[in-house]
Structure 1
């Protein structure tokens, strides 16, 4: 049994690690403005560059989740930080589009192990009625980094350059890896789930049941749809605001702190809201939020000024923060902790496939429409609708059936 103090210390380390991961990931969306100039990239090539990370990230989700269930999350967390730090440094040494694509792919492989292992760690450390709040603290690092990155990235890009910037972040990753090796320890099972052993995830019957569970596939489609919106906006908005809306880099850095503050607050508040949300109301809340996002995306791209555009963007980020935390909260409440690593890896694969496909698709769309982003915004609106349908289709009784199947496989 781990003390509350040590449990919260591990949560702080998870927050630190995920902050660094988000820093490495989000800062590329600003660095690409310089990288495209140095490597002479078209919009299509830029989309491929932004997507290459997510190809590796998506591929690693399910194996990482299984490894976290099989060998414990500590080893997976440590390996993830070490590998992504190495390839962060190598990003600064890239000399061509081909080399950058390969490096960013393996960077994604490294970072892809973190989120499933992080979710697994939280389910082992915290009771179910506190897991969403714990996860919201870790995920709020994306909001914090979104607040810091617009200003910090422009400062570093205009002083030390993008190559040295990635080298420094890689060194920071090595320091985090040492902290993980020394401090992170996890129990073998969740305190409120002692009847379901970690060994359950090794049972072939339970794994088959997981793949046959409709709730898991609804979560997969919802994850794909919502992360398509998230990464479509995150990867291309800096380029859009500079090239289409005519913003300069300094103004871009400052104005993007507004939606970043909304993301940070949204992540922190969402965990508390979701832990208090009456069981069974997730579908209603999630589907309404998806409809709101679709409407707001339309208002964004038709906005007549940058101020109005960023206002709608801020509301989108706030609502999207709730949705992106809703999915892992449903998994934690509806699925047994013994298969959380594998289930989380499967669902996260959907989200990261969206991260791979969407930026690349937007690049090709922009080239096809001679620099116009209108069709890209309509594509994101379509994903918001798909997300609504996926959430409405969630069958929570099937999640309970999986839980029962897991227990029966252990007593058989």
Structure 2
């Protein structure tokens, strides 16, 4: 049966009551969750690893950063591999590979070997987000892409929320090596579910014909020529980098990622070293911060979709950047105040606010990028460049923090991170205010 026949027989005119397609959204959320569980195992057990391997604070910061070296380096090649081989093969193999590497990391007996495992782990996780975005394009109706993307992004909070406390407890009880092994098993469980449930919507037997027809009719199959109102010039990576809008997006996303990676890697160690908590309790406190942030991020994402209704002209002027800047400022103030907070309850609140605001700003930064793209044939390299730029700046956070702690203690680290975020706010406000692919014969600058 052809797609057209399905659509005709099922009656595509109305939205079906069935929402079984959200199973795919849930699987994407769990995929990112699993990836973050294997990212944070080192952070959750950081104090024990530092003691076991005899590391300085600077060396610990380098170890925390090593994952992101491989992650950033293979992000663009991973996208190329997806185009050549396909997500249906690359994604499950990537999850299998990073689960095995996470488990094998337990064999490391010195810093050099453990660094190598972390770099390889980052490399194997690099196809996760590109693959997920391709699955969203395949499964999500146009009006639900924001929902599917939000579900996937929330995995970056769910992973630390669910895993930090168990990881810290396992490391304290059985040792950090066994913690690595047990946590890595979550990827294998996800892999079984993915193999059993994932098919393209054309072949997913668990869909009703009505819902299948709706998905096939509402997802985007238009050509670039149909989407554009006038001829556009295709953008190469060097051309994109020379544009002020792209520079603003790169700087802002880098600052956002810097904050997220600083908290992801150093927060449990900070609670042990500066707040004198036992490792299991530091893990529990960290998990509670991420748990609160999940609720807030979902609410902020829903509110932004509900109250920010943009016309095409407003989108091309980058009007969404004002909402992003406000969210970044909302995360900046509590982050800076953390330097002077002593009580754990208030610390949980301030860090949770920063996490929910900055995480939501990252999601909206990708939406802003989508607003400013005119030529669909350049969208892949544009998003790849944004992701790569964010990782390059973000991976500096664990290293810089390690050297700051070693030189001056924990007092200045939140102020340094806040300064980075403030620079990102200024870049977001001042630069992304014109299309990334100007239409032929039309001025590239858009005022307002």
The interval holding the TM-score normalised by the smaller chain is 0.7 to 0.9
Tell me, in whole angstroms, the C-alpha distance in 1 between the residues paired with 2:148 and 2:254.
23
Deviates more, 1:348-357 or 1:94-103: 348-357
| Pair 1:192-2:231 in alignment | no
- Could you tell me whether the CA contact under 8 Å between 2:47 and 2:272 is conserved in 1? no
Relative to its length, the structure with more helix (as a share) is 1
Deviation at 1:6, TM superposition (A): 6.1
> What is aligned with 1:294?
332
Deviation at 1:175, TM superposition (A): 4.0
| Pair 1:244-2:244 in alignment | no
3-state SS of the aligned residue for 2:222?
coil
1:348 to 364, 387, 391: 387
Tell me, in whole angstroms, the C-alpha distance in 2 between the residues paired with 1:149 and 1:245.
21
Coordinate RMSD, CA, aligned:
2.9
- Could you tell me whether the CA contact under 8 Å between 1:36 and 1:46 is conserved in 2? yes
Relative distance call for 1:297 and 1:271 in structure 2 (3 A) is closer
Tell me the matched-pair count.
Answer: 396
> What is aligned with 1:385?
422
| Pair 1:102-2:119 in alignment | no
Deviation at 1:146, TM superposition (A): 2.6
TM-score of the pair, normalised by structure 1? 0.86
Deviation at 1:211, TM superposition (A): 4.7
- Could you tell me whether the CA contact under 8 Å between 2:31 and 2:155 is conserved in 1? no
Tell me, in whole angstroms, the C-alpha distance in 2 between the residues paired with 1:339 and 1:10.
26
| Pair 1:275-2:313 in alignment | no
Tell me, in whole angstroms, the C-alpha distance in 2 between the residues paired with 1:339 and 1:183.
31
Tell me, in whole angstroms, the C-alpha distance in 1 between the residues paired with 2:244 and 2:133.
21
Question: Which of these two proteins has the greater Rg computed from alpha carbons?
Answer: 2
- Give the unaligned 5+ runs of structure 2: 7-15, 203-215, 226-232, 442-448
Relative distance call for 1:5 and 1:213 in structure 2 (3 A) is farther
> What is aligned with 2:348?
310
Matches within 5 A, 1:9-408: 9-181=23-195, 183-186=197-200, 191-196=219-224, 205-208=234-237, 210-276=240-306, 277-279=308-310, 280=314, 281-335=319-373, 338-369=377-408, 372-395=409-432, 397-399=434-436, 401=438
Tell me, in whole angstroms, the C-alpha distance in 2 between the residues paired with 1:131 and 1:26.
28
More contact order relative to length (CA 8 Å, sep ≥ 6)? 1
- Could you tell me whether the CA contact under 8 Å between 2:405 and 2:413 is conserved in 1? yes
Relative distance call for 1:85 and 1:264 in structure 2 (3 A) is same
Tell me, in whole angstroms, the C-alpha distance in 2 between the residues paired with 1:72 and 1:212.
31
> What is aligned with 2:9?
none
TM-score of the pair, normalised by structure 2? 0.80
Relative distance call for 1:246 and 1:100 in structure 2 (3 A) is same
3-state SS of the aligned residue for 2:45?
helix
